[in-house]
Amino acid sequence: MNFMKKEDTRMQLLECGRYKKTTFARDIIGGKYHDDKFAEIFYLESVTYNSNDSGTKWQDIVLRDVTGWIRGRVWAENIIPEYERYTGTVVLVQGRYTVYAGKPDLTIDRMEEAEYYEVSDYIETISGDSKKRAFEWICKIMSYIEEPYRNLADELLPAGRMEEIAMLPLSVKGAFSYIGGLLTYTSEAAARTYYELRVASLVKCNISIALTAALLSGLASAKMLVRRGIFFTTDICQGMAGEDFYTHKMLLDTQAFHKISGKGRAELLHIFSAIACRVPPGTVEAQLVKSAVENTLFIGSYKNDFAEYDKKYPYSMSQDIYSASLDRRIYRVKEKI
């Protein structure tokens, strides 16, 4: 079905065939619109059922775009169970702007999956400069890896696939959920492993194994996720991200992996099991890579949690928040005015 009539929407069709988004969450949060009909595209964050003591039922809807979140409601007469299936996708929303409990709100009449939209309107994308730096770092790390591990890294991370990787997010513990997140994670995890190796230069360590494991540590997680459009549904991300099972399968399906000695293959598989907390790190390489990966995820999740909080509560600027991804409160230094 397509309920979006031309007269109902402010959206404009671009030359590329995608809709140009004209109303953002921040506009609604700021009270720019009130008691006005609308038809706009948002990313559907969640759908939950609710009711009150008088028996009134509704669906609570959380929508977002690159500027923040806005809540809405589908009242009983318009409830459609299929809306739950749209969670994790970009949807066309029709309704009107309202105020609920003194806050900007949406009364939603209908929703359907959107087909034509600009990705950057709904999820952050890695900047051109950051992408260039990540490519350079990965190339530099590759130069330190010796055969036969270099051949494995080249097969799974060929230069020709870098642009493809730059279009994938990585949702692990809430970190790197923007487009290009997998590329950022890969370069930062490898860079941290490289610096860990320099600090531990007196410790006997196979540099090639450690750097290869760091470069490949996020690939299988993203590869095995179920993908709808460009967005990964949160429940699937949490269930699969970081699982060494998928990494093992990815390696076993790679020709270059089988050209590595049995000892080398076992050491690589052990590192991925240690990263996934299946086994304690039993080698120097596993300890170094696990530490580098955890630090990368922590910093990425820390930044992400505060960025997401500031979008949801743009006027709060709280200096400490609870991080669900890290399961504890996190703090930031108060900015000087």
Residues 250 and 136 grouped into a single domain: yes
Residues 101 and 209 grouped into a single domain: no
Nearest to 73 by CA among 111, 123, 39, 35: 111
Residue 333 lies inside a defined structural domain of this protein: no
What pLDDT score was predicted for residue 149?
Answer: 97
pLDDT surpasses 80 at 288: yes
- pLDDT tens digits for 148-180? 999 999 998 888 888 878 877 776 666 777 788
Residues 108 and 170 grouped into a single domain: no
pLDDT surpasses 60 at 225: no
Token reading at 68: 């923040």
Residues 131 and 166 grouped into a single domain: yes
Do residues 259 and 203 lie in contact, with contact meaning Cβ atoms separated by under 8 Å?
A: no
Residues 54 and 85 grouped into a single domain: yes
Where are the alpha helices (H) located in the chain, listed in sequence order?
A: 25-29, 128-143, 149-156, 162-165, 181-199, 207-216, 219-223, 234-240, 244-252, 262-275, 284-312
Residue 106 lies inside a defined structural domain of this protein: yes
pTM: 0.68
Do residues 274 and 292 lie in contact, with contact meaning Cβ atoms separated by under 8 Å?
A: no
- pLDDT tens digits for 122-150? 777 888 899 999 999 999 999 999 999 99
Using a pLDDT cut of 90, give the percent of the chain over it.
32
> Which long-range contacts (C-beta less than 8 Å, at least 24 apart) are formed by 127-130?
130/180, 130/184
What pLDDT score was predicted for residue 98?
Answer: 80
Mean of pLDDT values over 99-112 = 84
- pLDDT tens digits for 168-212? 777 666 677 778 888 999 999 999 999 888 887 657 899 999 999
Per the model's pLDDT, the better-predicted residue between 8 and 18 turns out to be 18
Do residues 145 and 153 lie in contact, with contact meaning Cβ atoms separated by under 8 Å?
A: yes
The number of distinct structural domains making up the chain is 2
